[in-house]
A and B are shown apart, each in its own frame.
Chain A
Amino acid sequence: MNLRQRRRLKLILRLAAAIAITAFFLFPIYWLFMISFKTPEEIFAFPPKWWPGQIQFDNYEVLFKDGDAKTVGNSLVVASVSTVLAMFLGTLCAYSLARFRTGGENLANWIISQRMVPPIAVVFPIFLLYVWLKLVDTYVGLILLYTAFNLPYVIWMMRGYINDIPKALEESALVDGCTRWQVLWKVVFPMCRAGLFATAIFTFVFAWNDFIFALVLTRTEVSTYTVQVTHYFGGQSNFWAKISAMSVLGTLPIFIVVGFMQRYLVRGISLGAVKG
Chain B
Amino acid sequence: MADLRITALNKYYGQVHAVKGVDLEIPAGEFTVLVGQSGCGKSTLLRTIAGLEDADSGTIEIGGQNVTDDPPRDRDIAMVFQNYALYPYMSVYDNIAFGLRARKTPAGEIDGKVQRAAQMLAIDHLLQRYPRQLSGGQLQRVAIGRAIVRNARLYLFDEPLSNLDAQLRDEMRSEIKRLHQELGKTMIYVTHDQIEAMTMADRIVLLRDGKIEQQGSPLDLYERPATKYVAGFLGSPSMNFVDAEIASVAGRLAVRVGDSAVLPLPQSRNDRLAPYTGKRIVLGLRPEHISRAREGDAREGLARCGAVIDLVQPTGARTYATFKLGGVEAVAELQAHEASQPGQAIELAIDMNRAVIIEPDTEKVVS
Q: Are B52 and A174 in contact (CB under 8 A)?
A: yes
B87 in contact with A176 (CB, 8 Å):
no
Q: Mark B66-97, 1 if CB is under 8 A from A, else 0.
A: 00000111010111011101011100000000
- A166 in contact (CB, < 8 A): yes
Which residue of chain A has its CB nearest to the CB of B104? A177
- The CA of A186 and the CA of B101, in the complex, are separated in Å by 11
Q: Which residues of A contact B73 (CB under 8 A)?
A: 174-179
From 28 to 85 in chain A, residues with beta carbon under 8 angstroms from any chain B beta carbon are: none
A230 at interface by CB-CB < 8 Å: no
Question: Is residue A221 contacting chain B, with contact meaning CB distance below 8 A?
Answer: no
Closest to B73 in A: A177
Chain B binding surface, main DSSP class: loop
| Chain A residues within 8 Å of B71, by CB | 174, 179
Residues of A in contact (CB 8 Å), total: 18
Please give, as numbers and ranges, the residues of chain B lying within 8 Å of A175 by CB-CB distance.
Answer: 50-52, 72-73, 75, 77-79, 156
Contact between B98 and A191, CB atoms less than 8 A apart: no
Q: Inside 8 A of A193's CB, which chain B residues have their CB? A: 89
- Say yes or no: is A171 at the interface (Cβ < 8 Å to chain B): yes
Q: What chain B residues lie within 8 Å of A182 (beta carbons)?
A: 102
Contacting pair A173 B79 (CB below 8 A): no
Query: Contact between B72 and A174 (Cβ–Cβ < 8 Å)?
Result: yes
CA distance A94 to B359 in the complex (A): 55
Is B102 touching A178 in the complex (CB atoms < 8 A)? Answer: yes
Q: In the complex, A172→B99 CA distance in Å?
A: 9
A168 within 8 A of B: yes
A173 smallest CB distance to B (angstroms): 7
CA distance A157 to B102 in the complex (A): 29
Is the C-beta of A169 less than 8 angstroms from some C-beta in chain B?
A: yes
Bound complex: CA A171 to CA B83 (Å)? 12
The answer to whether B98 touches A176, judged by C-beta atoms less than 8 angstroms apart, is: yes
Contact B102 A171 (CB under 8 A): no
Which B residues are in CB contact (< 8 Å) with A176? Answer: 73, 78, 98-99, 102-103, 146, 150
Is A190 engaged at the interface, CB distance under 8 Å to the other chain? yes
Residue numbers in A under 8 Å from B83 (CB-CB): 166, 168
Determine how close the nearest CB of chain B comes to the CB of A208; give it in whole angstroms. 30
The CA of A172 and the CA of B50, in the complex, are separated in Å by: 10
Q: Determine which of A174, A178, A191 lies in contact with B89 in the assembled complex, contact meaning CB atoms within 8 Å.
A: A191
Question: Across the interface, which residues of B come within 8 angstroms of A171, CB to CB?
Answer: 50, 52, 72, 79, 81, 85
- Report the separation of the CA atoms of residues A85 and B83 in the bound assembly, to the nearest whole angstrom: 35
Task: For residue B89, give the distance in angstroms from its CB to the closest CB of chain A.
Answer: 5
Please tell me if A135 contacts chain B, counting CB pairs below 8 Å: no
Given that A176-B78, A177-B99, A177-B102 are known contacts, is A168 also in contact with B89, CB under 8 Å in the complex? no
Give B213-245 as 1s and 0s: 1 = Cβ < 8 Å from A's Cβ atoms.
000000000000000000000000000000000
A187 in the interface (beta carbon within 8 A) = yes
Task: Give B60 Cβ to nearest chain A Cβ, in Å.
Answer: 14
Proximity string of chain A (158-200) to chain B, C-beta cutoff 8 Å, 1 when within and 0 when not: 0000000010110111111111001000110011010000000
Interface residues of B (CB under 8 A from A): 50-52, 71-73, 75, 77-79, 81-83, 85, 87-89, 98-99, 102-103, 146, 150, 156
Given contacts A177-B99, A191-B87, A191-B89, 5 further A-B pairs with CB under 8 A are A173-B98, A174-B72, A176-B103, A190-B87, A190-B89
The 10 A-B residue pairs with the shortest CB-CB distance in the complex, in nearest-first order? A176-B99, A172-B85, A177-B102, A168-B85, A177-B103, A168-B81, A174-B72, A177-B73, A175-B79, A175-B72
Q: 11 A-B Cβ contacts within 8 A?
A: A171-B72, A171-B81, A171-B85, A175-B52, A175-B156, A176-B146, A177-B73, A177-B99, A179-B71, A190-B87, A193-B89
